[in-house]
Amino acid sequence: MFARVQVIKETCTDYAKDQWNLYFQWCKYMYDDGTDENGYRFIWRRPDGSLQPARGQARIPSVEAIEKLVAAAKKKGWGNHSG
């Protein structure tokens, strides 16, 4: 099933602007059958600002990176959502 994704909130690693950055996003997934769901995803953004979709998979460099991004989302008030 195909889904369009609407990003509601996001936070990212603080790598240099000319490097790839890992984003943690709270999203709305809108499926082609008319249903939708909310959920989280990790996705890379290229230095030019475009996203690197990888069929639902993003290489995460470390658990520390995950923990930092989730902590930042919680601090901003949106890291405790559930589906």
What size, in residues, is the chain? 83
Q: Which residues pair with 22 in a beta bridge?
A: 44
In which residue are the tokens 């249903």 written?
35
- The torsion of the CA quartet 73, 57, 19, 7, rounded to 10 degrees, works out to -50
pTM, rounded to two decimals: 0.85
Cα 23 to Cα 15, 62, 72, 74, 80: the distances in Å are 11, 14, 11, 14, 17
Of 7, 77, 2, nearest to 41 by C-alpha is 7
Which of 62 and 2 is assigned the larger pLDDT? 62
Six-digit token string for 57: 């998979």
Six-digit token string for 32: 């082609």
pLDDT tens digits along 6-19: 999 999 988 777 89
pLDDT tens digits along 34-64: 999 999 999 999 999 899 987 767 888 899 9
